Amino acid sequence: KLDYAEKIARMFGANLSERTVHAVDQVDLTVNRGEVVGLVGESGCGKSTLGRMMAGIMPTSDGEVRWKGKSLSALTGADKRQARLAAQMIFQDPMSTLNPRKRVIDLIGEAPRVHGLVPDGNVRDYVAKLAERVGLDPSYLDRYPHQFSGGQRQRIGIARALAVKPELIVCDESVAALDVSIQAQILNLFMDLKKEFGLTYLFISHDLSVVKHICDRVVVMYLGRVVETGTPDELFSSPKHPYTQALIRELPSITDRRRDFTPIRGEIPSPLNPPSGCHFHPRCPFAIERCQRERPLLEPAGNGQMSACHLKDLLGSAGASKLAQSA
């Protein structure tokens, strides 16, 4: 997305050489073993970039990703390979990540064979078991991706990720393209697999209603920054940050989950030129003068929540309605 934004900006003559684009800006995110962490926000907020960094498939320009306490960039040889396999990503559209010329047996079986996780002679058996586990008919192993439905293709993607025995799975909008009934099936599958294989998930979604039911902790991002964190219960019963409040307020009106949504008044500003101070100030109903000047830090905001807002102590749900009335 940023590449695209950059291209457009250059077309219009913007000089980007002196400007750094902070797709992810001073974010500090820990995912603990066994946790399901939801990462939510509108399109372009940096959640996919952060997910790719966490999965080790995108380098950080400044900062580091630590895997079990060790910096990813410091790992070499077998350690590096192991860390790389231990974090897998599952994307929104399996069609774009599954090679159309490969059969299911190879799509799923290649990586574990190449990395010596399963002996050559046992690959078919190994893949058949995995296929069965994710709800694919193991007699279809010689078919190609286009011969499957969207939901089945996502199951192929899941089996492919599982095949290398990962510990962390980063799901980037992994159910966003699916019909609601299929979404529920795939989410249930994710949760069953978590128990069975002791998995940890970073679950990226623009859809709060998806993360609500599966996550232990939710991290809300806006324009490259984390604006609020808390458990789903905390966030839904008393969102502290005005952006989270808006996301939740708008939730019932989201009927088409396939599209990223823009629930809040005003456009999402460009990450190339984010607003000063609190990035949310042009769209925030509570903004005060200080918000344009000063970046709010992510700080404890009651319950177990953290919020990055100058008015966090005033803006509990009750405080917010009081402020709204007096406005």
Q: Which residues bind Mg ion (CB under 5 A)?
A: 48
Q: Measured from the CB atom, is 48 or 174 closer to Mg ion?
A: 48
In angstroms, what is the minimal distance from the CB of 235 to ligand SF4? 15
Tokens, residue 313? 């102590």
Task: Classify residue 94 by its DSSP letter.
Answer: H
> Which residue do the tokens 């058996």 mark?
125
The CA distance from 252 to 248, in Å, is 8
Neighbours of 81 (CB within 10 A): 12
The one of ligand SF4, Mg ion, none whose footprint includes residue 287, by CB under 5 to 8 A per kind, is ligand SF4
Residue in the shown chain whose Cβ atom is closest to Mg ion: 48
- Count Cβ neighbours within 10 Å for each residue of 304-326 and write b for 16 or more, e otherwise: ebbbbbbbbeebbeebbeeeeee
Classify 114 as helix, strand or coil: helix
Q: Is 148 in the site for ligand SF4 (CB under 6 A)?
A: no
Q: Measured from the CB atom, is 243 or 286 closer to Mg ion?
A: 243
The CA distance from 95 to 93, in Å, is 5
Neighbours of 57 (CB within 10 A): 13
The CA distance from 179 to 181, in Å, is 6
In angstroms, what is the minimal distance from the CB of 324 to ligand SF4? 12
In angstroms, what is the minimal distance from the CB of 283 to ligand SF4? 8
CA dihedral angle for residue 44, residue 304, residue 195, residue 81, rounded to 10 degrees: 50
Q: Is 286 in the site for ligand SF4 (CB under 6 A)?
A: yes
Segment interacting with ligand SF4 (CB under 6 A) among 26-34, 164-172, 305-313, 317-325: 305-313
In angstroms, what is the minimal distance from the CB of 290 to ligand SF4? 7
In angstroms, what is the minimal distance from the CB of 277 to ligand SF4? 7
Segment interacting with ligand SF4 (CB under 6 A) among 6-14, 111-119, 201-209, 281-289: 281-289
Beta partners for 205? 40
Tokens, residue 63? 């900062």
Q: Is 309 in the site for ligand SF4 (CB under 6 A)?
A: yes
Segment interacting with ligand SF4 (CB under 6 A) among 10-18, 24-32, 249-257, 303-311: 303-311
Binding to ligand SF4 by CB under 6 A, coded x per residue (else -) over 234-273, reads -------xx-------------------------------
CB 77 within 8 A of CB 84: no
Q: Which position among 291, 301, 306, 320 is part of the footprint of ligand SF4 (CB under 6 A)? A: 291
Interface contacts to ligand SF4, rule CB under 6 A:
241-242, 278, 280-281, 284, 286-287, 291, 296, 309-311
